[in-house]
Structure 1
Amino acid sequence: MKAPTRSAGPASRRFHWLASRRFLGPHCALSARSDKKQTAADGKEAHMSLRNLVTLLAVFGTVLLGLWTATLNTDQVTFRVPGFPPDEVQTSLWVVTFLAILLGVLGTLLYTVLLSSKAAFMRWRRKRVDLKTAEDTELIQLGLAAAVRGDHQTALQQFEIVLQKDPERLSAWIYGGNAARALGNMEKAIEMHMRARGVAPNGSDVHDELARDFAVLGKYARAVGHLEQRLSVNPKGDLELFARMRDLLAAQCLWDDACDAQGKHIKLLHDASERRDAEALARGLRLEKGRALMEQSTMEARQEALSIFASLLKADPQFVPAYLLQGRARFDDGDVDGAVNAWTKGIAATRSLELLNELVTHYFEAGDPEQAIRAFHQSMELITGEDGRAARLGLALLYSRLEMIEEAKAELEHLESEVEFSPTVTYHLAKLSERQGENETAAKRFRQIIQAASLLEPIYCCEHCNANHPCYVMHCEECGRWGTVVLDTSEELQEVEAQAVRAPRI
């Protein structure tokens, strides 16, 4: 692509639509300040021209008044001229008066000429500065255009040219640092943004970019420090500022501070749906605080964690991670019945497969498979649809693990009759046939799933952003929500439609 030339007029207008707010913000502010200075200078120049006109009129009137006075005073006078010794001079009174007026007029004219010369010099200097500023602004716009295209090296070169001409150009330091950061040269990015800080110590844009630099380097504490300095300039803050502070504090596991930042973020929200999302995120931060307390392995910490989980469930009875951690905290505290009660209550409230898996795993590891089977049967009365079929699949696998082959096979065959085609169900039926010595049947089933072997592993999906996860996680990294990741059974266990043709059997 051919690089834009300096004569490309429309390009300078397109930058304001293509470039990001972070790139153009300081430049727009500087342009507004320049316009204000220009307006003030024009007003001062008009005031000076009016003053010169009034001065000339006053001089002209004074000369006329002096001449009139001289014609009325023709007497001879004697006055002494300073010297050693003083000299005496005799002349008419009107001559003395005229000379005095003439000296005053000359002095006034000289003062007026000096003022006019100063004004002319300032106009010349301002035009020169404006010309230089226009050239620098054009170079900055070319640099912004290169940054929008992704050519950050060219953008950095344009900004450095501006800085060679004008080391006090704040926007060039900021944009140059941004380009260096985009190139991965964090040392240069921080250096340029620090120079920008020298030009504008309290500039909010400067501290904002320094916070981004240190966040990229993983120095979250320093990033938070710069955001706090930005907040000291504008104590009210804004949504983006508090959201970034929340994320940086959460990255340091400073959950209390992160919750405070999120609380300030919520106060600035007016849209109801956005407030609900932000409050859900705040609950996730409190959940992480409770999990961190659990890791301290002290009675007081676990009690505080349990208090947090109870308050979270009171605010949102569908919050699956809170049930999970509440049960684990009670189990760690020695309250096994309380743990089982928490998971059972959670299953009844949320129909969550993950809570069912937690309960069944507990019974199995405790050496009580009958309770595990009973938990499956009780849960299947509550969990319906695709998740219900997934629960039945889990029961079949439990039967298989307990060597209850006939029961496992019966559950799997019942599932096979309900779904169109499930590689997972077919695979486990093949394994059971193989264990029973039915090798031909097993081989037929294995051939059916050869092309779908990648579907044998369970897939978890976020209900909010549809991001896939290889295993269950409480927090979706893609959208930042807690408690939205579930087992994806949409393709595995689809119910057979009426009159649907079954998948062919080999």
Structure 2
Amino acid sequence: MTQETPRTSPVQTRSRRFRVVCSVWLALAAAVILAGCGARKQDFRSELMARSQAAAAATDRSEPVLPDLTPADYERLGDAHIAQGDFYLAFLQYEKALASDGSNPRLLYKKGLAFLLAGNDEEALKEFQKVLRFDPDHAPAQEGMGQALYRTGKYAEAEGHLEKAVELDPKRWKAYAYLGLLRDRQKRFPEAVAFYEKAIGLQPGEGSTYNNLGVSYLRMGLLDKAVLCFYAAIENGYAHDRVYNNLGVALARAGNEEEALQAFKKAGGEAQAWNNLGCVHLEKGDYEKAMHAFEQAIETSPTFYVTASENLAKARAGLNLRQTNDYESRSNIEK
């Protein structure tokens, strides 16, 4: 799982004697629930230094001197940079706005949001904590705390802040989405589904939530619903490799092998697709089909030889074990 949850987990056969080194996984999408953009860890210190040097160089040129900006002007500039996805410049503008009003909860929250969107969760937490010291009922800061805590692995603390956020403001769709992720981690899948559905009702165009809802349905064995959710994720702009992989798993488990293979190909190429299809067959105990798929993976790409060969060996071992058990069962009946 990724979430972001761990992105990969081995698929295991029904017999515990074999461990499968497959690359099929179910991927959640925690880090991309943030306003539709993927969060990534960024080095603010080096980036801010570079931006400051660039700004200093610009002032050396003979350009017209602009009038002094007010804190409200800096805040508007920060908001514009947030909308454009330039979180560094947004941070700088909010810092300037805070220079004259360092205890403004609204500005502190926006500064924390810039950190959060850039993937700097520890710094985001510091800013949200400042907000909550001034105003414990600040719903956006409670939601931001919950997101940052979840992403740093502090799940119990995250849950409290997320629940407080939706208590204060029932329209905080990101809080519902993250509560869904928490319930999914706890294997409380019906509750996860309910939270995801609330998030979708409030923000129907967020593709990552459909993906996460699909994963919960997949874990519940509701394959048709899972497939529909993964297609909805793609239709709503969340056409990531992880979604195609999840779609492939759902289709393969439902027996739609050709569609599953095409989905797996979009996730990682033809050799990877055959290997992943083989893993699903291996999981189901269909060793003959698994062997065929792994052989296709080896034939398609020599670089996949080691991985697919290991999986092929597992399939052969599983087939041999089943044949041995069948033979022993027949012998006992004959006696």
Query: Based on CA coordinates, which of the two structures has the bigger radius of gyration?
Result: 1
TM-score by length of 2: 0.47
Higher relative contact order (CA 8 A, sep 6+): 2
- TM-score, normalised by the number of residues in structure 1: 0.34
